[in-house]
A and B are shown apart, each in its own frame.
Chain A
Amino acid sequence: MTPPPIEFLLYGGALALVALGLAGLVMARHLFRSILALGILEAGANLLLVLAGYRAGGVAPILTPGTLGQPMVDPVPQALVLTAIVIGVGVQALALALALRVHQAYGTLDVAEVRGRMEADTDAAAGLEPETSRDLPAVERPS
């Protein structure tokens, strides 16, 4: 059996990272872990972008006496990914700060529990009974 070609491995790895990140986002029961899964999804997307700019046999896009005149890999996706990585860490820091606030307000980071208590809070703020508001048709709700 011949080993799979290298591009299959690289694209497969990048897509596996994307799929794992998505699965983690959907599956996570803990807000902190969904932030981590977002990071994995982002890493997979970055790898995919850099792969799109790779040129077989090319050299890094930096001019030195040794690389003049040789084919180079595409620099534009690399610049994009550079931007994406730095923005990613900013987004992560903001998400963590918001998660810390949620933890301050509710004392837990369990996704289901936080959602339940948030809905109860909005119901209370709207003046609805906590339990009747969800299952009854809209016309029968106390207004």
Chain B
Amino acid sequence: MRNLTTLLFAAGLGFLLLVLAAGLPYGHPPMLVGQGILQQAPATTGAANIVTSVVLAYRGLDTLGELSILFAAAAGAGLVLGGHRRRRRPDPDGGFILIAGADLMFPLLLVVGLYVILHGHLTPGGGFQGGVILAAAFFLPLLGRPREALDHTAISWIEGLAGAAFIAIGLWALFARGDFLAPMLGKGVLGQLFSAGTLPLLYAAVGLKVGAELSGLLADLAATEARDP
């Protein structure tokens, strides 16, 4: 009975939303901001990927807030989960195929992650996506050899330094140009690796921070005693 009413509620809600959506435009975005950014972005930031310009230059402060939220969530999760670590019994080692496969994939994933981070201003991708790939690369060997724990001290150092670098670049721009995270350095030639000023540096900091945070979170979650199966 309760499920039936809930389904009815959901169906009614969906119908209501559909009626609202009938008035929404499709294919002709009414926003003017996007048009302005599309026209100005290449000259202002020098990045070929306009989404990167929006994320790091036009809304750079938002990205700093996003990094803080991600840090708070990862720290909270680590805090809640951390009490378990004392009486854990590590899992047994994985089989030969798992260990060899993890060893084979680790350098490949590392290269792909770094490529995605460093080309964030030219091609789709950037610090967040590449950081997730880096976290996966560092988590993979942990599946094969659960005994070799990740070095949490090194991870916190990388994370802290990367976050500090992001803020330092922003403050540098604040003092040199008068705006927090304003584009600095030369813009270079559109479409080349060394272009777009500080944007690749910012994305590298974001990538390292996200990668360190998430691999620490994954290691926290994986470090569990094997419950009775």
Residues of A within 8 A of B (CB): 7, 10-12, 15-16, 18-20, 22-23, 26-27, 51-57, 60-65, 72-79, 82-83, 86-87, 90-91, 93-94, 96-98, 100-101
Taking CB atoms, residues of chain A closer than 8 Å to B76 are 94, 97
Q: Is B199 an interface residue (CB 8 A)?
A: no
Taking CB atoms, residues of chain A closer than 8 Å to B63 are 83
Taking a contact as CB atoms under 8 Å apart, the answer to whether B37 and A76 are in contact is: yes
Nearest chain B CB to A67's CB is how many angstroms away? 10
Chain B 35-63, CB-CB to A under 8 Å as 1, else 0, gives 10110011000001111011100010011
Out of B48, B69, B190, B217, name the residue touching A87 (CB < 8 Å).
B69
Taking a contact as CB atoms under 8 Å apart, the answer to whether A87 and B26 are in contact is: no
Given contacts A54-B29, A91-B73, A96-B77, 13 further A-B contacts (CB under 8 A): A11-B26, A12-B21, A18-B14, A20-B10, A56-B28, A62-B123, A63-B49, A65-B191, A74-B29, A77-B31, A90-B74, A97-B76, A97-B77
Out of A62, A75, A90, name the residue touching B70 (CB < 8 Å).
A90
Q: Is B164 an interface residue (CB 8 A)?
A: no
Q: How many A-B residue pairs have CB under 8 A?
A: 142
> In the bound complex, what is the Cα–Cα distance between A29 and B84 (angstroms)?
26
Taking CB atoms, residues of chain A closer than 8 Å to B123 are 62
Given A26-B9, A93-B77, do A55 and B217 touch, yes or no (CB 8 Å)? Answer: no
